[in-house]
Amino acid sequence: MKEPNINIERAVLSAIIFDPILLEDTQLQSNDFYFPFHQKLFIIYKELKNMDKPIDEHFIKHQLIKKGEFDEIALLDILSANPISNIKAYEEDIIEISRYRKFDLEIRKILSNDGNTFEKLFKINELKDKLEKSSLSFLSPAQNTANIIAEKPIFFLKDNLPIQKNEITMITGKGGGGKSFIAIWLSGMLTNKENLKVFAYLSEDKVENTKNRLEILRKITPHLMDFDIWGKDIRPQPFISKSRDGLLQPSEYWYQFTNHFNNYDVILLDPLIAFIADDENSNTEARFLFNLLNEWCVTKNKTIIIIHHHNKNNETRGASAFVDASRLHYKINKKENNNTSSFLFVEKTNHYAGKNEFEIKLFQDLNQKDEKNNNNKVFKNEALNIEILNIKKEDQEQKSKDIKALKEDKGINFG
């Protein structure tokens, strides 16, 4: 935190005495000054201005004596300070330091109050947001392109189903179209292939059902790794809320959620609608929500995957801003005569250039499975490396031939 600077405060106060017109434009308030005498002096400036009296040594002294606040040395320090012609920059500095000071004070107040930790955390987060948005110094200076190192967008699972790092990817499909299976498959793949820490909030299914689905998927993709989930038993809550005056703001739940899952690289949310406050058709709300999510992606290095429903016309439901704000949008479709795969089509992309259709083989072909059960693999255990196979009994003749070959070629004893 920046420390208050007595010389800057003196210089600004001195400049106003030399050029009282400065008082007309200033945004300064008396409590922006750190030193009590400076605060009192600024109040007197304002009073003199209101009384249409000149702001000069004589009247200032008179007013101070009247209020019993006259401090000759402090006043002399101001009068002897070098006045400055442009006080704007100094003014901003004083305001910013004052904001930090007030913020600090507020935090202390919140912390010393009674109440539970979540309430305190929420209030502090609210305050932090306010400070970040209002503080002048939080506007980053513009960067010159000459000083920026070019960086290509990074994609995970390039060969399987590209997911852009630190961006929002949206996957949409109609009910029963395999969205949740794709969500589980993606989570397992990202954990295994990209070594990422994945959290999937699959809020429409029981965790046990999700586990069952994962095991079904492992029949085709055995290396799908375990990942962390929440299920139906934990009620999802909106990430945004409306303030009393009807303005959108991040909800208390949002702060809790982002803090809670700060350690994860990938956050998968299924379905999007569970996290919307009021109206899924409102572009304002959609934009606000996605701005929040995007900010989280960039500032905290998160990659977000969102599962969303289709409407009756097999189009993405709700506000168009959902799709606009995502960097990559896949649409899930099934193909006739194919019960084993899901097909994902790239509907919208900002950075990805490559094929626009991906086939994800999820399930075993039931017809083939029967055949396999009779002739080939029955089950496989990864951990033990045990595979039990059930191959048709060879006839005796073949058996003898094999044994003879092993005896002769490899010198193995039989008997």
Quick one: which of 147, 222, 263, 408 contacts another protein (CB under 8 A)?
A: 222
- Does 375 help bind another protein (rule: CB under 8 A)? no
Q: Are 382 and 226 in contact (CB under 8 A)?
A: no
Using the minimum distance from each CB to another protein, give the nearer residue, 207 or 216: 216
Q: Is 372 in the site for another protein (CB under 8 A)?
A: no
Q: By CB under 8 A, which span of 28-36, 179-187, 340-348, 383-391 interacts with another protein?
A: 383-391
Query: For another protein, which stretch binds (CB under 8 A), given 118-126, 140-148, 217-225, 229-237?
Result: 217-225
Q: With binding defined as CB under 8 A, does residue 366 bind another protein?
A: no
Give the shortest CB-232-to-another protein separation in angstroms.
20
Minimum distance, C-beta of residue 208 to another protein, in the bound complex (Å): 11
The answer to the question of residue 408 lying near another protein (CB under 8 A) is no
Q: Is 382 in the site for another protein (CB under 8 A)?
A: yes
Phi, psi of 326 (to 5 degrees): -90, 150
**Which stretch, 192-200, 216-224, 255-263, 281-289, contacts another protein (CB under 8 A)?**
216-224
Place of tokens 């109609």: 174
Q: How far apart are CA 167 and CA 169, in angstroms?
A: 6
How many residues touch another protein (CB under 8 A)? 32
Angstrom distance (rounded) from CA 283 to CA 270: 20
Q: Binding residue for another protein (CB under 8 A) from 151, 175, 386, 397?
A: 386
CA distances from 333 to 128, 289, 343, 357 (A): 43, 27, 5, 10
Contact between 104 and another protein per CB under 8 A: no
Residue 410 makes contact with another protein by CB under 8 A? yes
Nearer to another protein, 212 or 281 (CB): 212
Query: Is residue 146 near another protein by the rule CB under 8 A?
Result: no
Closest by alpha carbon to 172, among 293, 12, 330, 402?
330
Q: What are phi and psi of 139, to 5 degrees?
A: -75, 115
Give the phi and the psi of residue 156 in degrees, each rounded to 5: -90, 160
Instruction: Provide the phi-psi class of 195: left if phi over 0, else alpha when psi is between -120 and 50, else beta.
Output: left
Decide if residue 415 touches another protein (CB under 8 A).
Answer: yes
According to the binding rule CB under 8 A, does residue 355 interact with another protein? no
Q: How many CA atoms lie within 13 A of 91 on its CB side?
A: 18
390 touches another protein (CB under 8 A): yes
Residue 385 interacting with another protein (CB under 8 A): yes
Q: Which is nearer to another protein, 324 or 382 (CB)?
A: 382
Binding to another protein by residue 380, rule CB under 8 A? yes
- Out of 146, 243, 388, 408, which residue is the one contacting another protein (CB under 8 A)? 388
Nearest to 107 by CA among 83, 123, 95, 88: 123
Give φ, ψ of 386 to 5 degrees. -95, 130
Please report how the helices 6-18 and 72-79 are oriented relative to each other, as an axis angle in degrees rounded to 10: 70
Provide the minimum distance between the beta carbon of 210 and another protein in the complex, in angstroms, as a whole number.
14
Which residue's CB is nearer to another protein, number 20 or number 231? 231
> Which structure tokens are listed for 125?
């987060």
119 sits in which H/E element = helix 117-134
- Does residue 57 touch another protein according to CB under 8 A? no
Beta bridge partners of 412: none
Which listed residue (27, 212, 314, 368) binds another protein by CB under 8 A? 212
User: Residues of 287-320 as b/e, b for ≥16 C-beta within 10 angstroms?
Assistant: bbbbebbbebbeeeebbbbbbbbbeeeeebbbbe
Q: Which is nearer to another protein, 148 or 386 (CB)?
A: 386
Which residue stretch of 159-167, 316-324, 329-337, 372-380 sits at the interface with another protein (rule: CB under 8 A)?
Answer: 372-380
Distance from the first to the final alpha carbon of the chain: 87
Whose Cβ is closer to another protein: residue 143's or residue 381's? 381
Distance of CA 109 to the CA centre of its chain: 28
Structure tokens of 57?
């040594």
Binding site for another protein (CB under 8 A): 212, 215-216, 218-219, 222, 373, 378-391, 393-394, 399, 402-403, 406, 410, 412-415
